[in-house]
Amino acid sequence: MTTQPLTIRSWPRAILHLDADAFFASCEQAVHPELRGRPVITGKERGIVAAASYEAKAKGITRGVSLYDVKKICPDAVIVPSDYETYSLFSVRMFEILRRFSPDVEEYSIDEAFVDLTGLRRSFHGPYGMIAKKMQETIGTELGITVSVGVSLSKVLAKIGSKHNKPHGLTLIPGRDIHLYLEKLPVEKVWGIGPNTAAFLRKFGIITALQFAKKDEQFIQKHLSKPYQEIWHELNGRSVYPVVTESKSSYQSISKTKTFTPPSGDETFVFAQLSKNLENACIKARRYKLSATRLILFLRTQEFRDAGLEMKLSRPTAYPIDLFKPLREGFEQIYRAGSRYRQTGVVLSGLVPEETVQYTLFDDTAKIEKFSKIYSAVDKVSEKFGKYTVYHASSLPTKLQTQHEGERGDAPQRKGELFKGENKRQRLGLPVLKVKV
DNA sequence: TCTGGGGTCCTAGGACCC
DNA sequence: TCTGGGGTCCTAGGACCC
């Protein structure tokens, strides 16, 4: 394995990681004081637990448990639908509070942040632990939720710290104490090390994070790729991951998927779902002024067998009108009559900035301009009156089923949630097609 | 967890070129 | 035709995250 260049940042640094406790449930309790002290569950719309308050956790409820079981285990639980808009507001305010302490705040997910505290002791006239504690207190006072915090020499160690003592924990891991926190920590609990790498490391007798951290550099370079070499440095207190302050402004890919119950064998309905995925993905792409050069579509059957297709587009676009024909053709190639489908999905990838799009001699520029005008009008209408005001007719059959679900709409376009996925999307072994748009 | 819905980065290997 | 070396770009797929 070749050694990749890897920069270790000047150290020691003081990195803080903050993780809100049972975030969704805590927000509900903050907004509805009568729920404080009671077991609160969010996720009503999905039928499984998205987040559980600590009162609910105390009764043995964990994420993913079906609400049917919740009622058996904990009959007095208050079950509410997830209200992403409210959670996003709490999130924004939480990050604002953090920025009062340091400009170097990374919004890592809706309920997590990294803050670079290096050098701030002087202006705060106190140690890093005091700064962290003030942050916790401010958030508690102003937002009415609790957060857990870790402070250490690197992001990976700070994460271990914030997880060490939940809820409302504050854990400092100075360099001399690192081994105390790693020696009992299974290596797969380390941020960035998953079950696969843990299984690999086990073959070398590495079970704990400390055993991994103690391995010599030759071993690490010989057997592990760059991401794990980086984690190894971070565990040893050498910071390589910077705190990224810039907010996310672009995407490599944009995907939209939708699971529906019960599964459907109705071709029109299934295609309509796909069509709606495409429209939503395009809306997001246009919002970020991006155009796609590839379109991936896939269908998942009741038996979790995926079929998919990838298409290379002759011209970048973010307009469904350009993509419906390829979508239809691709769909016909992978759709099997008689199968029952539970999910459709669309991925726009190979995204390029809108303005760099160049037309070829063969493109009908007048037509393209016209569509560009139509869609900016559509985007404006949607902005003003709600996301699904204007549809393509091919997406309409989805309404037949979704209307009575309450049309809860998509989650806000914020990254993250509290999901811990197992290996999510099986690889599709996609055939690639070139299509003219 | 018998099953959400989003994302990212890295690497090996092939295609193609000189 | 065979042989050899070296570079770049692109892609599929793996692994991981919230």
pLDDT tens column, A232-254? 999 999 999 999 998 888 899 99
The whole-number average pLDDT for the span A5-13 is 77
pLDDT at A429 (0 to 100) = 56
Q: For residue A410, what is the DSSP state? A: P
Residue A357 pLDDT > 90, yes or no? no
Tell which wins on pLDDT, A66 or A176: A176
The whole-number average pLDDT for the span A254-281 is 92
pLDDT (tens digit per residue) in A17-63: 999 999 999 999 999 999 999 999 998 877 889 999 999 999 989 88
pTM score, whole prediction: 0.84
> Chain B: nucleotides under 7 Å from a protein CB?
1, 3-12
Protein residue at shortest CA distance from C1' of C16: A192
- Please give the full DSSP string across A305-372, using - where no structure is assigned: -EEEEEEEEEEEE--HHHHHHHHHHHHHHH--TT--EEEEEEEEES-EEGGG----TTS-HHHHHHHH
Name the nucleotide nearest A227; use CA and C1'.
Answer: B10
- Distance in Å, residue A413 CA to nucleotide B13 C1': 36
pLDDT (tens digit per residue) in A182-213: 999 999 999 999 999 999 999 999 999 999 99
Residue A280 pLDDT > 60, yes or no? yes
A314 touches strand C (CB under 7 A): no
- Distance in Å, residue A1 CA to nucleotide B13 C1': 14
Question: Which residues neighbour strand B (beta carbon < 7 Å)?
Answer: A 1-2, 4, 46, 48-49, 62-66, 225-227, 250-259, 277, 284, 304, 343, 410-411, 413, 415-417, 419-422, 424-425
Report residue A365's pLDDT band, with 50, 70 and 90 as the boundaries: confident
Residue A356 pLDDT > 60, yes or no? no
Residue A355 pLDDT > 70, yes or no? no
pLDDT (tens digit per residue) in A326-343: 999 999 999 999 999 999
**CB of A281 closer than 8 Å to CB of A348:** yes
Name the nucleotide nearest A251; use CA and C1'.
Answer: B7
Structural domains of chain A in order of their starting residue, each with its CATH number? 13-173 (3.30.70.270), 176-247 (1.10.150.20), 253-400 (3.30.1490.100)
Residue A423 pLDDT > 50, yes or no? no
Q: At what angle do helices A84-101 and A128-143 cross, to 10 degrees?
A: 140
Q: How many CB atoms lie within 10 A of CB A2?
A: 6
Say if strands A40-42 and A78-80 run parallel, antiparallel, or are unpaired: parallel
pLDDT (tens digit per residue) in A166-177: 999 999 999 999
Report residue A409's pLDDT band, with 50, 70 and 90 as the boundaries: very low
pLDDT at A143 (0 to 100) = 96
Residue A142 pLDDT > 90, yes or no? yes
Q: What are phi and psi of A165, to 5 degrees?
A: -140, 95
Name the nucleotide nearest A50; use CA and C1'.
Answer: B4
Report residue A302's pLDDT band, with 50, 70 and 90 as the boundaries: confident
Distance (Å, rounded) from C-alpha A344 to C-alpha A424?
14
- Distance in Å, residue A427 CA to nucleotide C12 C1': 10
Q: Which pair of structure tokens corresponds to residue A40?
A: 């609160």
A312 touches strand C (CB under 7 A): yes
- Distance in Å, residue A231 CA to nucleotide C4 C1': 40
pLDDT at A377 (0 to 100) = 74
Tell which wins on pLDDT, A173 or A377: A173
Single out the residue of A392, A431, A413 nearest to residue A294, CA to CA: A431
Distance (Å, rounded) from C-alpha A382 to C-alpha A322?
20
Strand partners, A254: A348
Residue A415 pLDDT > 60, yes or no? no
Protein residue at shortest CA distance from C1' of B1: A64
- Distance in Å, residue A170 CA to nucleotide B3 C1': 35
Protein residue at shortest CA distance from C1' of C12: A429
pLDDT at A430 (0 to 100) = 66
Q: For residue A71, what is the DSSP state? A: H
Catalytic residues of A: 112
> Chain C: nucleotides under 7 Å from a protein CB?
11-18
Residue A156 pLDDT > 90, yes or no? yes
Strand partners, A18: A113, A149
Say if strands A352-353 and A290-301 run parallel, antiparallel, or are unpaired: antiparallel
Rounded to the nearest integer, the mean pLDDT of chain A is 86
- Distance in Å, residue A350 CA to nucleotide C8 C1': 19
Protein residue at shortest CA distance from C1' of C14: A427
pLDDT at A48 (0 to 100) = 85
pLDDT (tens digit per residue) in A74-124: 999 999 998 988 999 999 999 999 999 999 999 999 999 999 999 999 999
Report residue A426's pLDDT band, with 50, 70 and 90 as the boundaries: very low
